[in-house]
Chain A
């Protein structure tokens, strides 16, 4: 037993039959995990990171094919166990898993007490009372006050963050050796995210448990993991100690991923981005999976599968290029913004003491409760400005957006657009002043309309041009937002998330409005695509003189593009000012909490960690 790692995975592959084709979701993934070690698995959607964790937990779809040379947890050979045997002896006991969606991973018809205690059956070793005591202890330990009383509560009575804590408590009932957390904080607000991660790390140390944290967010992984594994298109492209990999990334994909993270840039310069998106691997390419998107691509990349190379002891990567710490920076993005639009004094949009209250009635006879979604909000937006509206879910951001768009009348106060109250502007005129861009690129396009129809619909409705002219304008707009013209007759289901968001932006700008209200325009997108869309928004501001109200919870995005920030908390704007002022010296306690919860990839700290490690000597040119 001694010397054997807790988890050993060698050449794990997962294949999913899709129709007549086969999707290679995971290919030749090899890694080991020691007892008590924390591994962060990062990658964009479609990279196979979730499939890897599901394969470990034997939770793959029934038709999936799992192959591996070695797959063992301690002394247990996971390959030799079928589903039933696995769930009887290991699942929930030696290894446990937490899922992304706390709203659906608890069963709504059982109390949380029933669900937690169900994890352990009473037996000779444990009486029913022991189990209850442990459940109460765990709930208290994970920060749920009055745990004894909470056991009788149902999941719907708890907030998302509390539910995720309950999930963690459930999984810890049997003190597993390995906990797999698949995007455990993605569905939660930033402030809650930080506390859940902290809790996971504390519990890991306390129980000496190993942790695999799957996330798309490099910031989350960089914080407290020991090792990191970067996945791309089903392959492990780079793995090693966090400080090494993030401090001196060797694989071009890791480098691109790090560079795509929005950060403060001078005058809203473009973000470096990785062109293209993660491919669906139906056919195994001969060469490197990343070659089509790689900026360092060489002829042999397309023909041979790159070997696994070692940069330092444990720092491995799959690329043909020799390790070279100096080759860090991406090629500079082609066109930097030379001029940033100067905010002109003209006020475009102005909200005066806007308030909005909803009446909620639980049933016909229940007493009506009122909920104040927006409370006395005043906000001005000048031409050429990018104002970021920051706040958590439920803070009233989206309601305010609807009011500013003129789609909903405020209960109190008024909204002036170009000097006129928005409610008295005729809908067609209003449409030429302000347009929305939404978060979800899947629900913002009508699935029954082609791209050309969707983009051209505003023109058609306004009846300005002949069909031929409309088509020309639509094609010009598609070009402007970086959509190839050949997509004109395609349906949204054939497009990637990033492309759909471009379509939504094209539809919003085709009437040449002055202001775009963007509600979380990039939060449903992958990091590298997010950078592309943010660049597009900045480009359009310069070319069309657009202004933006950018609603977001992501302070990194704000830091990257905004000129002013409005922080919204419980329906009120608690802080409003220039970006730099607010980010450097936040005034309101809530803003400070928000800023404190941001998990960034902290390069200096990582470098410091790297420098302290003795074996991290200059190791470059190992294979030269």
Chain B
């Protein structure tokens, strides 16, 4: 089929004085590539399920995650001796349904993951593009800020900040976001430096584009592939950071449900009732794994696409 296509097109093109062209449209190809990338598909599937759970938590979860049934506390999951089908994954130390709390925990984790990654993205990309595009003194100042940021002990600082400001989901998002922009900066700075000297930028200047216009309309679209990859990886990092903060007691506060908090609450009985720790652990693992799979997969696809 393609043989016929090719020779036909060659003939048609030569008649019009045109040239041969690989006529496959760009967009559908990307979708086909996604479908052919098992890692990316797995990551997207897990992420999709978790997003659906989080968004429709009130309808999906079997119980209200805040309802306490003290007589029925610390029930084991259904497959462990003593478990019952009413609470599939058992209950916690206050008798709250564990499955419902896990489903509601997805809301917090995803919100913090995407929220913090977005804030970091905004800071890092802005600084990185400015440093890369203007160079000189701006580049040196930004690089100095970056060095300072890298020298800070991230988790300790986050703990201190959350402790000082007072813990809430919003504060945790802001603090984690403000501490995770270095990757964005490094990558966008280098990519901007490379693109800055390309001829289409000069062409844009020659038609009278301002610097801001060049940065937004010419350079930024070329950074999307890199930014998306870092973004998905940073989502995983932020989820872990939230879990760590909550585990240490300075993140999400009870009774709000968070996977890190659930691990912290279950750790006293980790030897007797390991599922209290393992179940939220599995969810954190799945979310971070999915984020990393999506990030790696997108990087593969993007590098394929940008290859001429």
A residues neighboring B (CB under 8 Å): 21, 275-277, 279-280, 282-285, 292-293, 402, 405, 407, 426-428, 430-431, 434-436, 438-440, 442-449, 454, 457-458, 461-462, 482-484, 487, 489-491, 493-496, 498-499, 504, 507-508, 511
Contact = CB atoms under 8 A, between A and B. Distances in A.
B2 A282 contact: yes
A490 B17 CA distance: 18
Given A435-B206, A435-B207, A448-B222, A442 B20 contact: no
A277 B20 CA distance: 7
Contacts of A284: 3
B70 interface: no
A484 B213 CA distance: 29
B90 to A, nearest CB: 50
Contact of A279 (B20, B200, B217, B306): B20
B213 A499 contact: no
Nearest to A434: B206
Nearest to A401: B202
Contacts of A496: 19-21
A293 B14 contact: yes
Nearest to A275: B17
A494 B23 contact: yes
8 A-B pairs with the lowest CB-CB distances in the bound complex, closest first: A283-B3, A427-B208, A444-B199, A438-B199, A448-B221, A292-B10, A458-B207, A431-B208
A446 B200 contact: yes
Interface-centre pick from B6, B200, B207 (highest chain A CB count, 10 A): B207
A436 B206 contact: yes
A277 B19 contact: yes
A461 B6 contact: no
A368 to B, nearest CB: 15
Contacts of B137: none
Contact of B306 (A275, A280, A447): A447
Interface in B16-64: 16-26
A487 B2 CA distance: 20
Interface in B185-228: 198-200, 202-209, 213, 217-218, 221-222, 224
Contacts of B3: 282-285
* Size bracket of the B interface: 35 or more
Interface of B: 2-3, 6-7, 10-11, 13-14, 16-26, 198-200, 202-209, 213, 217-218, 221-222, 224, 306, 308
A435 B2 CA distance: 40
A495 B18 CA distance: 11
Given A446-B218, A487-B21, A491-B26, A283 B7 contact: yes
Contacts of B218: 446
A407 B205 contact: yes
A447 B222 contact: yes
A56 to B, nearest CB: 27
A505 to B, nearest CB: 11
A444 B21 contact: no
A489 B6 CA distance: 20
A444 B14 contact: no
Contact of A490 (B16, B21, B204, B306): B21
Contact of A507 (B11, B24, B203): B203
B7 A443 contact: no
B18 to A, nearest CB: 5
A39 B200 CA distance: 40
Contacts of B206: 405, 407, 430-431, 434-436
Contact of B19 (A445, A448, A499): A499
B19 A276 contact: yes
Contacts, number: 121
B203 A444 contact: yes
Nearest to A454: B200
Contacts of B16: 484
A107 B24 CA distance: 40
5 contacts: A407-B205, A431-B208, A444-B199, A457-B207, A507-B203
B202 A407 contact: yes
A6 to B, nearest CB: 37
Contact of A280 (B7, B20, B199): B20
A507 B11 CA distance: 28
A454 B203 CA distance: 10
Nearest to B18: A484
A443 B20 contact: no
A494 B25 CA distance: 9
Nearest to A440: B199
A282 B6 contact: yes
Contacts of B25: 489-490
Contacts of B24: 494
B308 A442 contact: yes
A435 B200 CA distance: 12
Contact of A494 (B22, B209, B222): B22
A376 B18 CA distance: 44
A435 B198 CA distance: 16
A461 B209 contact: yes
Greatest chain A CB density within 10 A among B23, B208, B222 is at: B208
Nearest to B17: A275
Given A283-B6, A494-B22, A494-B26, A446 B221 contact: yes
A569 to B, nearest CB: 25
A164 to B, nearest CB: 26
A442 B307 CA distance: 12
Nearest to B221: A448
Contacts of A511: 207
B213 A446 contact: no
B213 A461 contact: yes
A431 B21 CA distance: 31
A285 B208 contact: no
A443 B221 CA distance: 15
Given A276-B20, A436-B206, A283 B2 contact: yes
B203 A504 contact: yes
A292 B11 contact: yes
A440 B26 CA distance: 23
Contacts of A491: 26
A496 B19 CA distance: 7
A427 B19 CA distance: 35
A401 to B, nearest CB: 10
Given A282-B6, A493-B308, A498-B19, A275 B14 contact: yes
Given A426-B208, A446-B200, A462-B207, 12 more contacts: A276-B17, A276-B19, A279-B6, A283-B3, A427-B205, A431-B207, A436-B203, A438-B202, A443-B200, A444-B199, A494-B26, A498-B19
Contacts of B209: 427, 461
A292 B14 contact: yes
A443 B198 contact: yes
Contacts of A436: 199, 202-203, 206
B154 to A, nearest CB: 30
B160 to A, nearest CB: 35
Contacts of B198: 443-444
Contacts of B10: 276, 279, 292
A449 B26 CA distance: 12
A435 B205 CA distance: 10
A276 B18 contact: yes
Contacts of A482: 17-18
A461 B210 CA distance: 10
A446 B20 CA distance: 21
A235 to B, nearest CB: 15
Contacts of B222: 446-448
B19 A438 contact: no
A369 to B, nearest CB: 18
B13 A276 contact: yes
Nearest to A286: B7
A137 B111 CA distance: 71
A507 B205 CA distance: 13
Contacts of A443: 198-200
B21 A438 contact: no
Given A443-B198, A443-B199, A499-B21, A428 B208 contact: yes
B200 A445 contact: yes
Contacts of B205: 407, 427
